[in-house]
Structure 1
Amino acid sequence: MKSRLRAFAYRTFYRLPGRWKRRIVRTFQPTYTIGSVILVRDPEATSILLLRQPPGAGWSLPAGLMDRGETPVQTAARELAEETGIKLPTERFRAANPNAVVHTRGQWVDMVFETEVEPADSYTVDAAEVLEAAWHRLDTLPPLTVSTSRLLAHYGIGPYKDYPEVLNK
């Protein structure tokens, strides 16, 4: 009986106009927000660029949400320029491994990219969004936000790098 009911539901669904089917699917399927995160390292890969953002409880990576019509790598380039003043062509970004980190509890996906730049003494930060941008050695990182610590663990960096259970959350 259950399989017959299910078959009937599918046949009915597939007969609906496309507009109705999309609305039904969007109503019942979980949606995810897509963002880009950038791991900016120095050429020797000993330091990483971090941001301190309001309220300033911890340091994080340059990141932001995709705009409509943007690709993830375009988002990465735009966010890095907006938050630090570092303007790089998209060709300078490469997909990190893993490239996508899915956060099922918060229902968002971080598309992670890597790039290298020469460290500068100061950066032009977006004062509304960023309090400070600074380089930090990988072996002496400052206090990080929890989400940044978890994300960096995927790349063998930070306080959670030796805790595999963090990667499963």
Structure 2
Amino acid sequence: MGYIEALRQIVGHRRLILNGSCAVLVNADGALLMQQRNEPAKRWGLPGGLMELGETTRETVVREVAEETGMRLDASALTLLNVYSGEGMRTAANGDQFDMVTTAYYAEHVTGTPQVADAESLQYRWVPFDQLPTNIPAAHRHAIADYLARAGR
């Protein structure tokens, strides 16, 4: 059982602050790795997930990408992009309430073929930046925009 599941056994559905990490991963063709998740509502987003006890935000994104895609990231290749918060309270499908703090990293010239490796993911695609889906979480949209600004696009 992970940290969040154990914490939820104690606090139930009460509002929590959750910390997570995501990654803007760009391949040599300049396409972005996007993940379509089961929940919520089959939205598209960046690979990543919630922090476990004892992890750094960088370790979180390396672990999550490996768990979700089967791809191994070199932690030293990740560059801090920004930290996002203040999106307001959210409620998960099971009634859990939370506020999210998301730390985003980016890496360029990423290689590998992502595979659906967990029940959270429906599919992965390398998507050109001018063809991004519209149903992307706010923090992920901000991370993509910040990456594009940094890359001069």
| Inter-CA distance 143–104: structure 2 relative to 1 (3 Å threshold) | closer
- 1:85 alignment partner in structure 2: 70
More strand by share: 2
In structure 1, the partner of 2:86 is: 103
1:96-123 per-residue CA deviation (whole Å, 9 max, x = no partner) reads: 1xx2111251322111101124454x42
Q: How many residues align?
A: 124
Task: Specify whether residues 87 and 32 from structure 1 end up closer, same or farther in structure 2 by C-alpha distance, changes over 3 A only.
Answer: same
Query: Over aligned residues, Cα RMSD in angstroms?
Result: 2.4
- Cα distance change, pair 93–58 in 1 and its aligned pair in 2 (3 A): same
Q: Which residue of 2 aligns with 1:53?
A: 37
Task: State the alpha-carbon separation in 1 of the partners of residues 61 and 32 from structure 2.
Answer: 16
- The equivalent of 2:92 in structure 1 is none
Compute the TM-score of the two structures, normalised by the length of structure 2.
0.69
Letter in 1 for 2:116: V
Superposition map of 1:150-169 within 5 A: 150-156=142-148
What runs of 5+ residues in structure 1 fail to find an aligned partner?
1-29, 158-169
Q: Pick 1 or 2: higher relative contact order, CA cutoff 8 A, min separation 6.
A: 2
Q: 1:67 aligns with which of 22, 37, 52?
A: 52
Contact kept in structure 1, 2:34 and 2:126, CA below 8 Å: yes
User: How far does residue 152 in structure 1 lie from its aligned partner after superposition?
Assistant: 2.9
Task: Give the % identical residues.
Answer: 27
Equivalent pair of 1:57/1:145 in contact (CA under 8 Å): no
In 1, the alpha carbon distance for the partners of 2:88 and 2:106 equals 25
Alpha-carbon distance in structure 2 between the residues aligned to 1:84 and 1:57 = 17
For 1:35 and 1:85, the matched residues in 2 are separated by 19
Q: Which residue of 2 aligns with 1:22?
A: none
What are structure 2's unaligned runs of at least 5 residues? Answer: 1-14, 90-98
Q: 2:104 aligns to what?
A: 112
Q: Return the letter of the residue paired with 1:34.
A: N
Q: CA deviation at 1:52?
A: 0.8
Residue 125 (structure 1) aligns with = 116
- Aligned match of 1:144 in 128, 135, 139? 135
Determine the C-alpha separation between the residues in 2 that align with 1:154 and 1:118. Answer: 18
